[in-house]
Structures are given as C-alpha cells and as structure tokens.
Amino acid sequence: MVLKKPKLRNTLTSISIKGYKSINDEQEIELKPLTILVGTNSSGKSSFIQPILLLKQTIEESYDPGALLLNGPLAKFTNFEQLLHKSKENKADCFEVGFRIDNKHTCKFTYAKKDGELIVKNAIYINQIKNDKHDKHEYENVRIDHDMSIEEMRKQIPSRLFKLMNDFAESDGDIPEIKISRNRCFISLELIFKFDEDLKKGISFPGARPNIVIKNLIHLPGLRGNPERTYPVTSLNQKSDFVNLPGKFERYVASILHRWKSEDNSKAVEVEKYLGLLDLTNKIGTNKINDTQIEINVSTNSDEEDNFVNIADVGLGVSQTLPVLVALVYAQPGQIVYIEQPEIHLHPRGQYIFSQIIQEAVSRGVRVVIETHSSLIIKGIQTEVANKNINHKHVSLNWFKRVNGETKVESADLDADGTFGDWPIDFTDVELEAELSFIQAGDF
C-alpha cells in the first residue's frame, strides 16, 4: 500500500498556548494527520484546544461580540479571569494563542483586559513568501500592538506595500492613512487609499487567513447531547470545498443524514457500515416531519430491516457515537475533526475497532485530533501503523501531565512498527497493577 503525503490547504499544522488555565509556560503541539492527546483528568488536554474553540465561536457569532465571545455554544465562561493561569508562583494577566498554517504561516495573538474591555493586546504574523526571481522562500514579519503609534505602524509595512503607497502618493498627492483594524478576535493593519471624498479603498495586511482556518474545525465534545425525539432542520449549503458549520456540529447530524439518505448517497452507507463494525446497529433511517423537525430512527434487528425505533429509545452508544461517525465521513480533506473521548459508551471491542474508522478518515485526507483515555484506541492505532495502513510519520502522540500545578506536554513519534517507548502511568501500568492486585487477592 502506498501512503500518500497529505496535501495541506488552509489547515492548522501546530498550536501553541501560553498563560491559559493550567498552561503557564508556552506549550506547543504539532498537528499531524492524526494527533492524539492523552493524560490524567485535569492535566490540561481540553484546556489546550479550548482557546481555539473560543476563537471559533467569536468568529461565527451573528453579531460582533468584541475580541472574545466568552459565553457561546462551544465554550462557556462568565469572566475573562477564568481563562488565565493562576498559581502561587505565577499569575497571568493575559493569554496567548499561536498556530501555524500549512507549515508556512505563523500567527500569535495575545488577549487581555483593559479598562474593563477585552482586547487583542498584540498580534504577530510570520508569513512565508516565495520569491520566484531567486527561487527561494522569504519571510515577512509583522507585529501589531494595541496601542502602537502611527510611526510604529509604518515600520511594519512590508516593502511591497510601501512601494504601492509611494506610487499612490506620487500620482494622487495623498499619503494613504494607516490604522489598526480589528476583525472579531484578530487584528491587522489597514491602509486606506482615498480617491475622492466619497471613494475609499482599504487594504488589510496580513489578510484574514486565520478566519478560514479556525471556522473549518469540526468539534465533537465529550458529551454530545442527549438523544432527542426530533432534531432541528439545518441548512447545509456548500459553496466551497470547505464547509463551515457554525455552532455545535451535532445539531447538523440529522439534516446531513437526511440529505444523504434522500440522495441515496454512499456516505450514508459508510456511516451504517461503521455502526455495524461497532456492533451498535446496521441501519439508520430519517424522517422529515415538517419544515423544522427531523427524526432519526435506528434498526434494532439485523434480520428485519423495517424494524426501526426512534434513536431516543435505544442505548446511549448510538446517539453518542453517531455524530462522531457523521463528522468523520462528512469532513473534507484538510479539515480538522477534533473529538473528545470517542470511547464514550463504546464496548471495549468497539473502542479497539474505532481505530480502523479513524484510519479510513485519515486516508481520505481528513485531519483527526482525538482526546482519549482509552488505551484500546491507542493500541488499535499502533496496530494500523504496524500494518502500514497509517504512515507512522503522520501520527503525533502527546502526553499531558501536571508538574507543580502547571501543564507540561511531552510528544512522541511512533516508529514504523507502531511503538513509541514507555506508556504513561495512567495506562498499561495501571492495568497491570489491577491484574496483579486481583491475582494476589485470592492468594492465601
């Protein structure tokens, strides 16, 4: 089997966090086609991704909520101070979120509170630009501070735009105005070219590239909602290769399935295949009751295809797993699907088999991030690597732990045989300890 190198297109390839909750010193994780986050409870796994969810819900809100929407569908806070790192030795007054895009462009944003208002304190952009004349890459660095002067802003203008400004001034006589422009949770510099009293043209730099990347992330939380008798009808207009579904993904699941079933789409068959592999059901049905409600029905007998019941009348395994499977099948190549605890309500055998479903998604180019406590899922992924179904270079394994109250992340690479060294204490060592204790309990 030939494992192709995944193409990068508007996707996150690393995340760094600093000053957020238990994360004091900057911690960075490389996001590969498959990224695994493991560690004990309260070790900082969720805290690492949470800032990205804050940015996503800020971007997607129907109104401008300011620099950060604290209380939204993906993350809920009431005060900015709840986000900041606090310990006896260190107390942060701001936090920083950084990410790399396509392994080429780096962005870092710092969020703080000033005079009772949340602000983007500063932003750093490092963009890789290809110089065709010399056939090499150059880097354009731009730093923007909330309170920087006009003169400081001008020093950040790239040479290509500086020439444009001078050419415009020579031909028109007016020097373009420069100002800081905020677009929700991001800031950039903007040049205002004035052609006459009524006609102005603005050019922002760097552009709004982070918006696209963050919006395309699909998030499946640890608790994926209670099974409902009916689900809302949601719009699924697809105007580009990447599909932005704002808010909670599980609210779209019924409409996605209904479209697939109505169109006799092979993706519905794929979801049913995965449900069968996990021994949850073999058939899914949908029924659009009216313009606002869709019900999901589940087959309860493999021998009788017409034996359907409402999803609310079967075990939680189906309702908790179905959104994950739909997301993995629905996602476009390059799109990130972040799954918290995919093992919830899955039998141990189902947890192990789930690694095969992840492998198929990764092979299609979907980028998967899982936060898990399941050693069986990890062992299954190791097996997929050993069987050459997943390239070992495409897996990032990250252990989270607390040291003196602060989160530290250790990353490991799998070798071609799927091995990576010692397990963390909360996995195999605990299983062996439990087995030994059981044996000794009956030894007189």
b/e per residue 333-361 (b: at least 16 CB within 10 A): ebbbbbbbbbbbebeeebbbbbbbbbbbb
Q: How far apart are CA 250 and CA 128, in angstroms?
A: 36
Amino acid making up residue 240: S
Q: Which H or E run contains 180?
A: strand 177-183
Instruction: State pLDDT tens for residues 46-92.
Output: 999 999 999 999 999 999 999 999 999 999 999 999 999 998 888 99
Q: Which residue has the higher pLDDT, 373 or 134?
A: 373
Predicted pLDDT of residue 38: 94
Q: How far apart are CA 410 and CA 148, in angstroms?
A: 37
Region 254-262: what's the mean pLDDT?
94
Q: What percent of the chain has pLDDT over 70?
A: 89
User: 19-23, 73-77, 232-236: lowest mean pLDDT where?
Assistant: 232-236
Contact 414, 420 (CB under 8 A): yes
Let me know: does 34 contact 361? Beta carbons within 8 Å.
no
* Two structure tokens written together for 334: 């390059």
CB of 14 within 8 A of CB of 29?
yes
Q: What's the rounded Cα separation, in Å, for the pair 407 and 388?
A: 33
- Residue 4: Cβ within 10 Å count: 8
**Is residue 113 pLDDT above 80, yes or no?**
yes
Indicate the SS3 state at residue 68. Answer: coil
371 contact partners, CB below 8 Å, separation of at least 6: 37, 38, 45, 46, 49, 222, 338, 339, 340, 341
How does DSSP classify residue 91? B
Q: How confident is the model at residue 312 (pLDDT cuts 50, 70, 90)?
A: very high
Residue 9: pLDDT band with limits 50, 70, 90:
confident
Let me know the angle formed at the C-alpha of 160 by 154 and 162, rounded to the nearest 5 degrees.
Answer: 30
pLDDT of 350 higher than 70:
yes
Q: CA-to-CA distance for 400 and 371, rounded, in angstroms?
A: 11
pTM across the whole model: 0.91
Pair of tokens at residue 410: 């250790």
The C-alpha R_g of the chain, in whole angstroms, comes to 25
Report whether pLDDT(443) > 90.
no
DSSP code for 175: P
Q: Which residues contact 132 (CB under 8 A, 6 or more apart)?
A: none
Of residues 134 and 27, more confidence is placed in 27
CA distance 419 to 407: 25
Q: Exposed, middle or buried by CB within 10 Å (0-12, 13-18, 19+), for 99? A: buried
Predicted pLDDT of residue 223: 87
Q: How far is CA 274 from CA 28, 230, 339, 357, 358, in A?
A: 33, 23, 16, 7, 11
Helix intervals (H) in 129-247: 150-155, 159-172, 209-215
Mean pLDDT to the nearest integer, 374-383: 93
Between CA 129 and CA 138 the distance in angstroms is 5
